[in-house]
Structure 1
Amino acid sequence: MSNKNPSLTRNSKPPDLELYLKGVPFHLHKETLAKKSAKVTTLLECNKIDELRWILRDIDVDPTAFFLVVSFCYGYKIHLSSENIVSVLCTAYSLEMNDDHSSNNLLNKAATFLEQRVLISWKETVKALAVCSDKILDKIADVGLTEVFLDSLLEKALKDPILLDDLTTLPLRLYEPLIQESSKHNVSVENLVASVCNYAKRYVFERDSGDESVARNKRQVLEAVERLLPHQRGAISCGFLFKSLKESMFFDASSDCRKGFEVRISRQLDMATSKDLLILLPSKVGVGAYDINLLKTILKSFYSNYSVSDVSRFVSVARMLEEFLLEAAASDACLSVETFKALGEITVAASCDVLRYSDEIYRAVNVFLERHRDLTETEKMDACRVLNCKKLSPEASEHASKNEKLPLRIVVKVLFFAQKQIQDKVARDMKSVEEKDDADIEDMNTKLLRLDIESDYKKDREIENVECVVHCVKNKLEEKKISVWREVKRKFGCMTSLTVDACNCHIKKRKKTYHHYK
């Protein structure tokens, strides 16, 4: 920096002011600075020029930005950019480099550049704020520029909310109020959540050194993230919420922050998966502890949010816990019997009234015993206490009855209940058959009765039909007999206009003589 010092080329006098900014030396002329800076002029008049170094340190001015300020004082043309404008502007303001002291001064030039070249662009505005230190941000707050920056960003975000996703470089003290203001307008929940999650992923989830300042920053970001996230069910992924909760415990965030994540999780626990719940497990094998009380708290809050009618949600949570128990048993070789039993009891409590079988719990027990072959018989029995032999499916019962890893007492119980299930099934089947037979008999009786009625009806109809036919035949025969008799009588010459019954003609019959042969 010293070989580019403007004093070496624009002023033949030797420098009479030496400053060091963050280890970078500046050899300057007091009078040259005083021509552009009212503050330097005042310090010289009061013989307090040494205070200049404290003023520059107080605003944490960057050496590169201060070099531009000094270059301007020496008459050089300087190049302003989004990366240096805020620091240059704050330095010019602190040194009182205004037009009242000198025409076309730096403060006016920097303000014009900020307005015409930076604030009109979202990208350039974010870029300008991204490089600001906390002390510079304090200065722009004192000047009143914070509202100017936020208003510029908010105006553009309301026109295109997707811009909010690209704010990971913004300082937290500016990011949080911007998101808060955006949430008060018609910015969608999806855009707000996406932005907050991206911010958390960069400043919290990315692992850094264990430096205390880094941990403090992560804690501050986590607490801000919790305040910014909506409480709407399903708006935030369960995985993100579980990660945030775990980090809030790790970095010792405030109780309100931790409680906020717990509440959001409990409201949508039925939407979580076993993978989400596994996030709460120790990050390294054998490190950390399972927070059983935390899991109970979340479950208690979940059940308090819903009624008995929400059985489908209870089923989802029960199945998720069973899968969680199985994966915990499979993934953690250091899982103790006490912890497995505690997790198993929670799982049993969630599934006992909503799931028909407990096969997944049996599988978890089987995996746990497989990974802990050195357990004593007593320890095995403790691990198996979460197993309800009455709720094993026939397939699981058959497997358990041949499982050599199980204690003998458990195998005997499995066989006993398996036999009882068979007996109960046979009894149910027999009862079903009897009921079916009774129903079939009743149905047959009904059909037979119907047939009898129909048969009697048909018989009556048939009798009526036969009687009718006989009557008609008789009539026809009578008619035929009468007609024949009439013809006979006509032939005998007895036909008159009278009816047959009125004819008095008598025909003498010849006496027949029968001869008998001897």
Structure 2
Amino acid sequence: MDINPSTFELVARFCYGYKIELSSENIVSVLCIAYYLEMSDDHSSNNLLNMAVTFLEQRVLMSWNETMKALRICTERILDKLADVGLIEVFLDSLVEKALNDTRLLQDLITLPLRLYEPLILELSKHNVSIESLVASVCNYTKRWVFEKDSGDESFSRHKREVIEAVERLLPHERGTISCGFLFQSLKESIFLDACSDCRKGFEVRISSQLDMATAKDLLILFPKEDGSYDIELLKRILKIFYSNYNVSDLSRFVSIARMLEDFLLEAAASDAGLRVGAFKALAEITVAASCDVLRYSDGIYRAIDVFLEWHRDLIESEKMEACRVLECKKLSSEACEHASKNEKLPLRIVVQVLFVSQTQIRNNVAREMKDVEKKTEDQVDEDDEMEKMSKKMLSLEIEPGYSKKRKIENIECAVHCEKKKKSVWREVKRKFGCMTSTVKACDCHNKKRKKTYRY
């Protein structure tokens, strides 16, 4: 086994009877050497192995910080020796007990070697620790040992590959528990580090399960590849997994995916000046397939094409046509059609198609308006017909046998009744005003009233 020079000196001093200072930084190495040299009490009382074990129990394992100090400096060979003597379980049990009492301590675990970190997280996941705390710890561990570490050394790349594979095993599969950006970055690293197929597939599945929650910037993390190309098959594979897990009742998710891909196509066209026509067309075809029967208009695809042609002014007409081939002019809004009809960057053939679509839209709008007018006219005609029918019905009633004669009699009776009613009302009015008595005639009353003089 490897022996640190300072640790070897400490053991030698102990053998010669000198007093030695044990610490959290050297206790693990001392334990391993004492065990390897069989420095137990079988040879002498209070031997080094017994002294080291006592120090470990009373000074190290009782404290979270001291335990972490002791484990941070452990090499693979020392960990092998700790496993041989059964001390790894002792350390892990101590850390688990303390972490369960205070989950904030989980962030300290990211400094531990992977061989200790993975079993710790697995053990904690079996207890009542929130999934958010575990995910936060795993994500921070990945950022420290994979995302932020950069070295061309083969052994270090191998270590990063081991870490990313372990991270995939530790992460939960629940939708929405991990950020989309982290998942895309992890997938990219797993591809770059040539991680095992299970690891790459695991990240693809997690991404697909919440793809509708991703943004165009998340998707751009994966692209382009190191050589500037786009892994079209990878994108298709992720989309295929997504669509296989959801049905038409989840229409809002389909709409989110379609809009995200439109934004991604636009971002790719705007940010990647080296994007070739073939790659742009392939991405555009995927976007069109996702938006088919989901989005009403193809304005987003048109905007991406416009930006792509702006960045590639040197394209010949056939190349421009190749980039525009996916555009469905009939699905452009009237505003997009108006813009496209004046867009000098577009191939002439596309402009002609746009003009034809514009004319068709105008004709359809006019036809629709005319149809509305005709509908209103028909409604009015129907109403007039109803009135005419009602009038005819009334006339038919008047010409029935005996009806006219009966109607005249009723009119006469009504007139007499009304006249009587008028007279009685008039008499009542005059009576109320004192114009009618049993002894005075109406004319006298009239004369008397004329004799009155009013002063104001």
Say yes or no: TM over 0.5.
Answer: yes
User: Which has the higher mean CA deviation after the structures are superposed, 129-138 or 422-431?
Assistant: 422-431
Q: Distance in 2 between matches of 1:227 and 1:267?
A: 17
What does residue 307 of structure 1 align with? 247
**Secondary structure in 2 aligned to 1:86?**
helix
The answer as to whether partners of 1:400 and 1:414 remain within 8 angstroms in 2 is: yes
Residues 31-430 of structure 1 aligned to structure 2 (within 5 Å): 58=1, 60-282=2-224, 287-430=227-370
Q: Report the aligned-residue RMSD.
A: 2.7
Q: Distance in 2 between matches of 1:244 and 1:138?
A: 29
Q: Distance in 2 between matches of 1:406 and 1:473?
A: 90
Instruction: Give the CA deviation at 1:159.
Output: 2.0
Change (3 A) 1:442 1:119: farther
Q: Distance in 2 between matches of 1:180 and 1:385?
A: 52
Q: Distance in 2 between matches of 1:92 and 1:447?
A: 115
Change (3 A) 1:256 1:447: farther
The answer as to whether partners of 1:337 and 1:379 remain within 8 angstroms in 2 is: yes
* 1:302-325 C-alpha deviation (Å, 9 max, x unpaired): 000000111000000000000000
Q: Distance in 2 between matches of 1:410 and 1:149?
A: 71
The answer as to whether partners of 1:61 and 1:136 remain within 8 angstroms in 2 is: no
**Secondary structure in 2 aligned to 1:166?**
helix
**Secondary structure in 1 aligned to 2:18?**
coil
Change (3 A) 1:475 1:400: closer
Indicate which of 407, 410, 417 corresponds to 1:471.
417
Q: Give 1 or 2 for the bigger CA radius of gyration.
A: 1
Code of the aligned partner of 1:208? D
With normalisation by structure 2, the TM-score equals 0.85
User: Which has the higher mean CA deviation after the structures are superposed, 72-81 or 86-95?
Assistant: 72-81
Instruction: Give the CA deviation at 1:289.
Output: 2.4
Instruction: Give the CA deviation at 1:432.
Output: 2.3
Q: Distance in 2 between matches of 1:240 and 1:431?
A: 55
With normalisation by structure 1, the TM-score equals 0.75
* 1:129-168 C-alpha deviation (Å, 9 max, x unpaired): 1100000000000000011111111112222223222211
Q: Distance in 2 between matches of 1:444 and 1:160?
A: 84
Q: Distance in 2 between matches of 1:400 and 1:139?
A: 72
Q: Distance in 2 between matches of 1:152 and 1:451?
A: 101
Report the count of equivalent residues. 413
Code of the aligned partner of 2:256? S
Stretches of structure 2 lacking an aligned partner (at least 5 in a row): 398-408, 425-456
Change (3 A) 1:236 1:473: same
Change (3 A) 1:103 1:394: same
The answer as to whether partners of 1:322 and 1:361 remain within 8 angstroms in 2 is: yes
Instruction: Give the CA deviation at 1:73.
Output: 2.2
Q: Distance in 1 between matches of 2:61 and 2:332?
A: 68
Instruction: Give the CA deviation at 1:437.
Output: 3.9
* 1:424-483 C-alpha deviation (Å, 9 max, x unpaired): 1221222223324434555677799999999x9xxxxxx9899557326449989xxxxx
**Secondary structure in 1 aligned to 2:354?**
helix
* 1:204-248 C-alpha deviation (Å, 9 max, x unpaired): 111412110111001100110011111101111111111111111
Change (3 A) 1:475 1:233: closer
The answer as to whether partners of 1:274 and 1:323 remain within 8 angstroms in 2 is: yes
Q: Distance in 1 between matches of 2:343 and 2:299?
A: 14
The structure in which a higher percent of residues are helix is 2
Percent identity between the two aligned chains: 73
Code of the aligned partner of 1:308? V
Code of the aligned partner of 2:168? E
Q: Distance in 2 between matches of 1:443 and 1:165?
A: 79
The answer as to whether partners of 2:228 and 2:274 remain within 8 angstroms in 1 is: no
Change (3 A) 1:223 1:468: same
* 1:361-399 C-alpha deviation (Å, 9 max, x unpaired): 111111111111111111110000121111111111111
Code of the aligned partner of 2:35? Y
Q: Distance in 2 between matches of 1:328 and 1:240?
A: 20
Change (3 A) 1:217 1:327: same
Q: Distance in 2 between matches of 1:406 and 1:260?
A: 42
* 1:107-150 C-alpha deviation (Å, 9 max, x unpaired): 11211111112112222212211100000000000000011111
User: Which has the higher mean CA deviation after the structures are superposed, 312-321 or 350-359?
Assistant: 350-359
Q: Distance in 2 between matches of 1:116 and 1:380?
A: 76
Change (3 A) 1:291 1:466: farther
Instruction: Give the CA deviation at 1:65.
Output: 2.1
Change (3 A) 1:415 1:64: same
Instruction: Give the CA deviation at 1:346.
Output: 0.2
The answer as to whether partners of 1:158 and 1:187 remain within 8 angstroms in 2 is: yes
Q: Distance in 2 between matches of 1:295 and 1:311?
A: 20
Change (3 A) 1:470 1:84: farther
The answer as to whether partners of 2:187 and 2:200 remain within 8 angstroms in 1 is: yes
What does residue 444 of structure 2 align with? none
Q: Distance in 2 between matches of 1:116 and 1:446?
A: 104
The answer as to whether partners of 2:299 and 2:333 remain within 8 angstroms in 1 is: yes
Instruction: Give the CA deviation at 1:67.
Output: 2.2
Code of the aligned partner of 1:238? C
Change (3 A) 1:151 1:410: same
**Secondary structure in 1 aligned to 2:364?**
helix
Q: Distance in 1 between matches of 2:296 and 2:349?
A: 23
